Amino acid sequence: MTETQIFEPDGRAIRYVDEGEGPVALVLIPEPGLERDALGVVGHYLAEEAGFRVVRISTPAVSELPGDGEGLSERVSAIAGVLDHLGLDHTWIGGHGFGGTVARAFAAEQTGRVNGVLLLGVQDEQIDLPPAIPVLIIQGTDDDVTPPANGERLHATARDRASVTGIPGAGHLFPLTHPIQTAVVIEEYLDWD
């Protein structure tokens, strides 16, 4: 696996891994509490086997954030800072669970930088998907934390540009328990050209 790097804007330490050199850039944000290499196998497969550039960003814990502790806008700012640091103007962005919620908030605030959104388990949050941006939703069929119904509801708001795929028999931690299957779904979706 590629070594973790640290970006330190305003004295905050934001850990990230930048792997691969492909023409398609994909940012992955793990579920908080699973930070380290939660999406490591998925990211490594997409970088090494599928030929994408994959940036995995661990956003700060709430205790490390300034202000009111809400954290979502601070996390979006942290992601934008890392992308600026790496010189990435356009990317797919996605995440697992709350990481996907951060990705949705980033896409809503920074629409001009987003080529598409990738959600691994959808939280039931009221964050509209930006118009005209493709969305891939992957759900574990046995996920009781971010149940498939959440993904179906989000899909219903953007049927013309959103796709839903289930990982049969998988729970909420499917990116860890079924990493290659998850990565292959992403690879096949993004490799349309």
Task: Give the position of tokens 């899909």.
Answer: 155
CA distance 72 to 21: 29
- Report which DSSP code applies to 10: G
pLDDT of residue 60: 57
Residues of the chain with pLDDT under 50: 62-69, 193
**Mean per-residue pLDDT of the chain:** 88
pLDDT of residue 123: 95
CA distance 130 to 133: 6
Nearest CA among 65, 86, 87, 76 for reference residue 109: 76
CA distances, 175 to each of 17, 33, 76, 88, 116 (Å)? 17, 14, 22, 25, 19
CA distance 33 to 174: 15
pLDDT of residue 65: 44
What three-state secondary structure class fits 149? helix
CA distance 188 to 134: 14
pLDDT of residue 63: 47
- Sheet of 53-58: strand order equals 5-7, 14-19, 53-58, 25-29, 91-96, 114-120, 135-140, 162-167
What global pTM score does this model have? 0.90
CA distance 30 to 41: 12
pLDDT of residue 6: 81
